[in-house]
Amino acid sequence: MTSIVQITPFVFTRELKSSCAFFESLGFTPTLVQPELGYAYCQGHGHALRLLEISPEAELGEQMIYLDVDEVDAFYETLRPVLDALPERRVRPPFDQSYGQREFHVKDPDNCLLLFGSRIMRLADIPGG
C-alpha cells in the first residue's frame, strides 16, 4: 500500500524574493526557485513549504501554518536575532495556550501567521480534553 510521504503547505506571497529571504532567515533554504513561475520550494528543519507568488490584485485571504517543534522556548531563542529585527507586532513571544501547547507566533511579510508550538500537557490533563 502507498502512503503519504509529507504534507507541504503553499504560502502565498506578493513578492517571491523577499519571502524567500524571510523564510531563509527562519532556517528554510530555497532549494528550487523559479522566478518566472513565481514559485519556490524551501526546505528546513526536516520539512518543506512552497512559496507561490500571486498578483497584487488577487485576494490573499488569511493563511496560518502550525509548526510543531521539540522545545518551543529553545527554538525561539535560536531564532531570536532574526525575530528581534522584525517590525513591531510581527512576533508574539512564547506563551502557554489553554489547549496544552506553548507557542510563539510570527507573521511573514504577507501576514501569513506561523505558529510554532510544543506540547506542555497531555490531552487527558486539559479540562474537557
Q: Tens of pLDDT along 110-127?
A: 999 999 999 997 655 655
Return the closest-CA partner of residue 103 out of 111, 95, 112.
95
Sorted by where each begins, the domain ranges of the chain are 10-125
Return the closest-CA partner of residue 10 out of 46, 59, 57, 64.
64
Question: What's the confidence (pLDDT) of residue 58?
Answer: 86
Question: Cell 507561490 appears where?
Answer: 52
Q: Where are the alpha helices (DSSP H) in 1-129?
A: 16-25, 72-84
Q: What's the full length of the chain, in residues?
A: 129
Task: Name the pLDDT band for 7 (thresholds 50, 70, 90).
Answer: confident
Question: What's the confidence (pLDDT) of residue 124?
Answer: 56
27: DSSP letter: T
Return the closest-CA partner of residue 85 out of 36, 21, 17, 3.
21
* 49-107 per-position pLDDT tens digit: 999 999 888 887 889 999 999 999 999 999 999 999 999 999 999 999 988 999 999 99
Return the closest-CA partner of residue 114 out of 49, 29, 31, 42.
49
- Superfamily of domain 10-125 in the CATH hierarchy: 2,3-Dihydroxybiphenyl 1,2-Dioxygenase, domain 1 (3.10.180.10)
Query: Could you give phi then psi for residue 123, rounded to 5 degrees?
Result: -55, -40
